[in-house]
Amino acid sequence: MSHVFAVRVYYEDTDMGGIVYHANYLKFIERARSDWVAEMGIDQRAMKDDGGLVFAVRRVECDYLLAARFDDRLEVRTEVASVTGARLVLRQQVERAGEVIFAAVVTIVCVTDTGHPARLPANIRLLLH
């Protein structure tokens, strides 16, 4: 099952060449992950306040395949690749009219509010399987 998040490319997202600046794809997939987590009913604020845990990106491996431009309508697809006690690996891709223009594999971990590694909470692991 995949989550789909709509993105419209604004002028501020582009560089001098009129194409989406490379770092903005990371922003697009971050917004999609935040939306996906919220739709699953995971309250990240409560996770931090009650358990002292936050999600952190451990690794991103990405490929820029085609350029997006001002006013393009994009979709970010997010799918779970794997879940263990300590990490969540997601596949995310940005599409324009069904064509993949950016692809990423993102590894997410939990850390304590002091920055130490922590296991993913069991209730969250259950939601992801």
Query: Known catalytic residues?
Result: 15
Give the Cα separation of 35 and 81 in Å (integer). 18
CB 107 within 8 A of CB 88: yes
Per-residue H/E/C for 44-75: HHHHHHHHCEEEEEEEEEEEECCCCECCCEEE
Q: How many CA atoms, within 13 angstroms, populate the side-chain half-sphere of residue 45?
A: 1
Q: Give phi and psi for 31, each to the nearest 5.
A: -60, -40
Give the Cα separation of 8 and 1 in Å (integer). 23
